[in-house]
Amino acid sequence: MNQPRLITTCDGLQALIDALVSRGYRVLGPVVRDGAIVYDAIARVADLPAGWTDHQEAGRYRLERRGDGALFGFVVGPQSWKRFLHPSVETLWTMRQGEDGVRISSAATTAPKFAFLGVRACEIHAISIQDRVLRDGPYPDTAYAKRRQDAFIVAVNCGQAGGTCFCVSMRTGPKANSGFDLALTELLDGASHQFLVEVGSEAGAELLERVPHHSATEAECAAAAAVVARAVSQMGRSLETDGIKELLQSNPDHPRWDEVARRCLSCGNCTMVCPTCFCTTVEDHSDLTGASAERVRKWDSCFTLDFSYLHGGSVRSTGRSRYRQWMTHKLASWFDQFGTSGCVGCGRCITWCPVGIDITQEAAAIRSSLNTGKGEHHGGS
């Protein structure tokens, strides 16, 4: 939106949080816990990871102290906002058998309204990707749609890139251009600590009235642009997206799949931390008398052996086929299914893989082996 740029301070940020709380939002944001930056309830600016940054590499994540007091001087941690919008455990319905027969009722959803503080551009794209899957299909997940509609999003533009980030390759960042109610760019210059604010919606504009702010100067706008430019220049990874769908779908028997299978533990970490992975399973529970039952939906991963169970065995019984499924789905089949890539370049799967498998490296290996004439040219059996 072509709105005026505004400036607010750390006190202004506190006012923002307070205003959200007073409107009944459950405010969630980054906090430090167990050696990582995760998303949890916050009430005060002091709850934010001031002065912390993250050092990320394939299979490595470590928090480090910064030299300054930046509130958002890190990138993304092991969690994504999907843990609130698409919860890992959810009761779908309950059933009771009584004298008047059987009654099945949808589980009542009394979820609070969420306000997410500190949503990165890649995460905004991830949320909109999940919107397409869970909300915009022929059978929408109405609980997801409601949580989504009620959610208030305060984006933060990244001032630095993580070691495994490649949002530039996926064209999902580092600047948030839409999909937010408010967007902040942290401007830290010596003693001066303020935030450039962009308004992305009417709800955002309305909330901003509760927050002290003034117009940004040209210099402040330029400083914000420089912050983003710095992040752009620091990308830890890159992924060549040209023809990636063709590349992966035409090479199901490429030897690289065997190679990665030797390393992959099919632990499923990548699917848990990925902000777009959406697969779930259902469990049917009942009490011993069978008089009451419920269906619970839980996160699942295509890496589990049971995921493709059919008629006494699994269709994808080898780790090789499961890794191939995940990567091909994420970078290729997603286009057929939902019209976009499934990957936003956040780098979590690279960071949190215990053996450091790097999706950008795997894609590059397949691509280069075909370019140089090595490896197989045609997949299929």
Partner 1 sequence: MEDLEHILAEQPFFAGFSAEHSRLVAGCARNHRYDAGEYLFREGESADEFFLIRHGQVALEMVAPGRTPIVFATLGEGEIVGASWLVPPYRWMFDARAMALTRAIGIDAACLRGKCEADHHLGYEMMKRFTPILVQRLHATRLQILDVYGKR
Partner 2 sequence: MAAAPQPDPFVPQLYRVTRARRELADTATLQLVPLAGPRPHFEPGQFNMLYAFGVGEAAISISGAADAMSFLHTVRDVGAVSGAIAKLKTGATVGLRGPFGTGWPVAAAQGADIVFVAGGLGLAPLRPAIRQVLADRRRYGRVVILFGSRNPKDMLYRRELEQWRQRLDVDIEVTVDHADADWHGSVGVVPALIRRATFDPRDTIGLTCGPEVMMRFTVSALLEAGIAADRIYLSMERNMKCAIGLCGHCQFGPAFVCRDGPVMRFDRIAEFFAVREI
Residues that bind partner 2 (CB under 8 A): 92-93, 95, 97, 101-106, 133-134, 137-139, 141, 249, 252-253, 278-282, 284-286, 290, 293, 297, 300, 302, 307-312, 315-318, 320-321, 325, 329, 332-333, 336-337, 379-381
337 binds, among partner 2, partner 1, none (CB under 5 to 8 A by kind): partner 2
Q: How far is the CB of 16 from partner 2 (least distance, A)?
A: 34
313 contact choice in partner 2, partner 1, none (CB below 5 to 8 Å, kind-dependent): partner 1
The smaller minimum CB distance to partner 1, of residues 209 and 306, is found at 306
Residue (98 or 313) nearer to partner 1, CB:
313
Among all chains, which residue has been given the structure tokens 């919107």? 131
Peptide linkage before 174 cis (omega within 30 of 0): yes
Written as six digits, the tokens of 263 are 């390393």
State the number of binding residues for partner 1 (CB under 8 A): 3
The minimum distance between CB 356 and partner 2, in angstroms, equals 25
Q: How far is the CB of 343 from partner 2 (least distance, A)?
A: 15
Instruction: Indicate whether 306 belongs to the interface with partner 1 (CB under 8 A).
Output: no
CA separation, residue 101 to residues 111, 285, 287 (Å)? 30, 19, 17
Query: Least CB distance from residue 302 to partner 2, whole Å?
Result: 7
Q: Which does 137 bind (CB under 5 to 8 A by kind): partner 2, partner 1, none?
A: partner 2
Token output for 372: 């140089």
Burial class (CB in 10 A: 0-12, 13-18, 19+), 101: exposed
**Minimum CB separation from partner 1 for residue 380, in Å?**
21
CA distance 230 to 336: 34
| Nearer Cβ to partner 2 (33/103) | 103
Question: Could you tell which of partner 1, partner 2, none binds residue 82, using a CB distance below 5 to 8 A set by kind?
Answer: none
**Minimum CB–partner distance for residue 336 and partner 2 (Å):** 4
Least Å distance, CB 312 to partner 1, is 3
Contact of residue 240 among partner 1, partner 2, none (CB under 5-8 Å per partner type): none
Closest separation in Å from C-beta 303 to partner 2: 12
Query: Segment 336-375, which members bind partner 1 (CB under 8 A)?
Result: none
Closer residue to partner 1, CB minimum distance, 287 or 306: 306
Which partner in partner 1, partner 2, none is near 192 (CB below 5 to 8 A by kind)? none
Whichever of 68 and 283 has its CB closer to partner 2, that residue is 283
CB of residue 106 to partner 2, shortest distance in Å? 6
Binding mask 307-336 for partner 1 (x = CB under 8 A): ----xxx-----------------------
3-state secondary structure the chain: CCCCCEEEEHHHHHHHHHHHHHCCEEEEEEEEECCEEEEEECCCHHHCCCCEEEEEECCEEEEEECCCCCCCCCCCCCCCCHHHHCCCEEEEEEEEEECCEEEEEECCCCCCEEEEEEECHHHHHHHHHHHHHHCCCCCCCHHHHHHHHHCEEEEECCCCCCCCCCHHHHCCCCCCCCCCCEEEEEEEECCEEEEEEEECCHHHHHHHCCCCCEECCHHHHHHHHHHHHHHHHCCCCCCCCCCHHHHHHCCCCCHHHHHHHCCCCCCCHHHHHCCCCCCEEEEEEECCCCCEEEEEEEECCCCCHHHHEECCEECCCCHHHHHHHHHHHHHHHHHHHHCCCCCCCCCHHHHHCCCCCCHHHHHHHHHHHHHCCCCCCCCCC
Q: Which is nearer to partner 2, 73 or 342 (CB)?
A: 342
Residues that bind partner 1 (CB under 8 A): 311-313
